[in-house]
Structure 1
């Protein structure tokens, strides 16, 4: 597909990361950014304005990417209703449902609701996405390309599953960061200096993640088995972590369920 013109609403960390990915992949041509904070437009065929009224009248984007914070969406969205029927809307605002957009844009608006995660900032994110029936094949392909520029993309056919996607991958990086904190605290508890414990934990988690990345054909289960000697130190720790009642799996199950429940509450 050829590069397209794009309207990007919001230019925070995620919007900036996505634009960098689009530029690198050659996905976009002209980009108009609307961000109330203003600032300097990035390099390339890019215009940055602080007010949607300043978007050039003859600008005809193929997609409108909504990257503003969820709490700002209701106020921001009406200014872009005129693009409904002419462009696909791609929202990356957590918790904002298709129904909430349709109230403003109309029931026939082409909408894709997506949930990327923060590793998108380094091109290693993953996004879950849902498309309404009004989204054409070409529009879906375009949204896939836009999301794929910052990581992997998976599609769900039931919008309700976006809450589960949010709970696993959207919030998931924070779980991993907390794992580093927990490992560091545990290391300090067995006598390591706190700074050394943190360094060991951080390098271990990032290194293990890279092994997962480079061994895409191997399951996490197999990789775990590969580094676990029977009756060794790793097995002793795993006996605790894999306890059926109080181990990591039941704890993570409760955590993800809580995140999914909160996502539904935020969606109203």
Structure 2
């Protein structure tokens, strides 16, 4: 038996990185997953690989309320219900505070913060009707500790932690648990934009990320997206049945203090 047998979970940003690994792991654990993303090619390919009985893909711009309504409707039509959400979609932009254009700040907030808000808002009626469920929001190490050049990103992720706590308080009586994962440095296309030619993001940092985080992080390496997926699974299954309203840091010990190796 899988840890998510009989569950239907919407996963955003599911075409690659953490979202892709979450989709693969959740499906392997028995869930039926609705994959949402704006990267239609990779998203459709992943859904086809997982199979129609296990996964469907929808184009989902998390900053558009109409897209959320369509995604929830698609999940219901395909699988009959919704009883889980992983708000994984996010973007990262590096910039100094004084040099950050308002449009760039608003773009990051729209995806990371507004997207999480709209996702929770969209699924609450479905989770309530199902008799309960789980929401896992993706925050960040940067939500809990300052980091230079990440004003917009850190602000949006700190807001996700705040919304997670409030939602957990409001929804506990409906049997809905809400938690957040707070990854540190994870080896994904978002942290390595040079790997995605069409990403449109800023140039990658010059330093080799593996070597950089190998020196900085106590565990001596950058994290892997499948490790974050396992934490999201824990928070989405009965193993975490008495946990809600909490931010879970997964950062190789980075928040505890930096250790130069």
TM-score, normalisation: structure 1: 0.44
Task: Considering Cα pairs closer than 8 Å and 6+ residues apart, tell me whether 1 or 2 has the greater RCO.
Answer: 2
- The structure that is helix-richer by fraction is 1
